[in-house]
Every structure is written in structure tokens, then in C-alpha cells.
Structure 1
Amino acid sequence: MRVRKLTFVALAVAAGLSLTACNDDDVTGQGDTSSAASESSSGGSAPDASGKDGGTNGGKDSAGKGGASSGGQSADNKANTCRTDRLDITAQDATIDGDTEGTVAVTFKNGGSDCALNGFAGVDLKTSAGALSAERSGGASDPMTLKAGESVSFGVTYPVNDSGGSGVKVSSLVVTPPGETKSVSLQWPGGSLPVTDGSGTSVKVGPMGSAGQGGAS
């Protein structure tokens, strides 16, 4: 009986030691897991999809581009188009005796800073028979810069009314500078137009410089 009791006690002690060792291993394993989790949570920002660390975007905007504005030459380096409001626009009869056509010279005088003229002016006549648009005649002049205070003129030609009757009376001349949409209405300084069959306009507008000196006043 004594031998059996000692054996049973020895087995109980061994079992207790074994359970203690197992518990120690479990506690140690949990401690390692907690430590790993702690290192993971405090080890900086997580990698992004590209495999690089996350964080600031290096000073770039939301589109991934730098904050500096894009370059490029400004259009302000060229002379601005001559604006209607900055031009003194006048018209006078320039018909020479004996000519088969009448001529009205329209003059642009630059009342502002240097500006650019390129192409034909728009010309319309208001007549007793309705509105009449002038057609372009000849090739356009080369682009020009009209300096402050300078003038340039172009001609508006029309058939002379030699029928002996009153013909078609012109009440006003409407002029639109090249590249502009704003017009000015001037008194027509020329004569009347002959009555036509309405087959087309016989009023022509010439290029810049086609009447007068076309330069400085």
C-alpha cells in the first residue's frame, strides 16, 4: 500500500508539472502575438498599392501634378486688335471728276495704344430700297500695326447714278472694323445709286490703305 501511494503521488506531481508547462507555453504564445500586433500597429504607415509607404503626396495636387502653373507665351505679347471704341471712324466723298464710279473714303484713326488691323472692314449701306452689303474687292492688305494717333483709309466704290432720276438714296453707312462685332453708323457722304434689277450688289469695299495715304495722319 505504501508503494502504491508513493507511485500515485509521483504521477500526480508529474501531471501537475506537465499542466504547468502547457499553461506557460500558452501564455508565452499569447504574449508573442500581442507583441507582434503592437509592432504592426506602431510600425509607421501601411504600404499603398504600389508597394511604397503611404504618407504625404510630395507637395503634388490631387491630380498628381506639381503646384507650379503651366508655362506658355502670353498672347499679350502681340498688338491687340483695333477695337471700335478706340477708333475715330469718319467717311468723306473721295470721288474724282470724270470717274465712272463714285468713291467714299473711310478712315480709321487710332485713339488708343498700338493695335493690329488685318483683313477687310465690314460695310453695309442703308438705302431707300433696303439694306445693301458691300462686296470685297481685290486682295487683302498685309496685316498692319496702327500706332497711336495714326490713320489708315480704305475705299468704298459704287456706281454713279447718271439716269437723271433720284435713283436709290443712301441714308447711312454702317462700318465694322476687321475682327470686331461692334459697328458704327455714319452719314453717307456720296451720291445716290442707280436703280438696278436686284441681280447683285455693285458696291465694293477695298482693303486697308486703298484710299488716301493709308498711313500716319
Structure 2
Amino acid sequence: MRVRKLTFAALAVAAGLSLTACQNDDDAMAQNDPPAASAGSSSGGGKDSAGKGSGGQGTAAGTGSGENGKIGKCRTDDLDISATDSTIDGDTEGTVAVQLKNGGGRDCVLSGYAGVDLKTSAGSLSAERTGEKSTPMTLKDGKSVYFGVTYPINKSGGSGVRVTALVVTPPDETKSFSVEWPGAATLPATDGSGSPVKVGPMGSAGQGD
């Protein structure tokens, strides 16, 4: 009976040593394992090198959307600018319709008045705003908007002031574009008390296309 008890005790000690050895082996293996992926890594749905979520979508190029999805303003280089005579028989004033066509490949925003200057034989003549209310508008790619330029008709019988060109500066831009003047060849001479040429806001002429 004593022999059996000693044998059992020996087996228990051996089992304990074996368990301790297995635990040590497990600890060593755990130390050699690579660290788990931390939150915020590329495999954890964090940000990629472009700074956007790996599961999200960035702004597509050429859509006209800028920061925070806003549509940018229309640039002079994106616009095809032309002008046509829109004077109707019997009008007391001459009218020129200026067309701004968006050819920039993206939608853009226009707001307010364009700058308008007439190049004449007597120097540059700046148009004055009519004062009409202007509402910001989104000009779709390939579409046009028009505004009107009015001027006095030369009925003085004299030679008047010869107009050589129309210079247009889109709203909020500094780069200008010169086009051929399509209106009457001359303006009546003025006493310099104010500009006889008036410019309306975006959308003040024509229907667009």
C-alpha cells in the first residue's frame, strides 16, 4: 500500500513538471508571434496615404467639386466669350448681348457683374452697373449665360467716338478677354459727366442654352 502511494505521488510531481514546461513553451511562442494589427492601420479601415478612409471615395477629378464638395467659381480660361448685336428696331438705346459659355469640362459658379470696358478712339470707357439684383448661379459644363450691355445711339450727326473692341472680365476674375464690338460703330461724344454705357448682371439677357 505504501508503495502505491509513493508511485502516485511521483506521477503527480512528474505531471506538474510537464505542465510547467508546456506553459513555458507557450510563453516563448507568444513572444515570437508578430504583434496584432493595431486600430488605424490600413487593414483596420483607417486612412490611406491620400488621407481618406480606405473604404470611402475621394472627389472625382473633373467634377468641378472643390474642397468640402463645393463647386468652384468660373475662371476666364474656362469660358468662351462672344458678343452679338441685340438691338431691336425702335429702341432708344443699343444693346449688345455677351455670351459666356462654360467650356472648362466642369460645372462652375458665376455671381454678380462682369467688368466691361469699351476700347474707343478716345480711350477706354468703363461700363457702369445697372444696379439690378444678381443671384449666384451654377453654370453647367457646355451651357451658356448671357448679360446685356446698353449704350446710347449716336444721333448727333457728328462722327462721335469710334468703338474698336469690347473687353470682358468675368465676375471675381482679374484676367480679361477682348472680343470684337458687334454694336454700332460709334457712340455720341459725351461731356465726361458719367459713362453712357451700362452693364447688367449675369442672366440679364438671352435665355441661355
Which band: TM-score by shorter chain? 0.5 to 0.7
Instruction: Tell me the distance in 1 between the aligned counterparts of 2:168 and 2:134.
Output: 18
108 and 163 in structure 1: CA distance in 2 versus 1, 3 angstrom threshold: same
Cα displacement string for residues 37-91 of structure 1 (whole angstroms, at most 9, x for unaligned residues): xxxxxxxxxxxxxxxxxxxxxxxxxxxxxxxx9xxxx735111110111101000
Structure 1 unmatched ranges of 5 or more: 1-68
Q: Give TM-score scaled by structure 1 length.
A: 0.64
Query: Runs of at least 4 residues of structure 1 off by over 6 A?
Result: none
TM-superposed deviation, 1:160: 0.4
Cα displacement string for residues 123-158 of structure 1 (whole angstroms, at most 9, x for unaligned residues): 001111111100000323210000011100000000
Cα displacement string for residues 159-216 of structure 1 (whole angstroms, at most 9, x for unaligned residues): 0001122211110100000011110011111111101111111100001111111x3x
Q: 2:203 aligns with which of 198, 209, 214?
A: 209
Structure 2 unmatched ranges of 5 or more: 1-50, 52-65
The one-letter amino acid of 2:138's match is T
TM-superposed deviation, 1:115: 0.2
Instruction: Tell me the distance in 2 between the aligned counterparts of 1:93 and 1:128.
Output: 20
Q: Greater Rg, structure 1 or structure 2?
A: 1
Q: 2:76 aligns with which of 79, 84, 92?
A: 84
Match in the other structure for 1:110: 102
- Within a 5 Å distance, the mapping from 1:50-129 to structure 2 comes to 75-112=67-104, 113-129=106-122
Instruction: Tell me the distance in 1 between the aligned counterparts of 2:72 and 2:149.
Output: 26
Match in the other structure for 2:183: 190
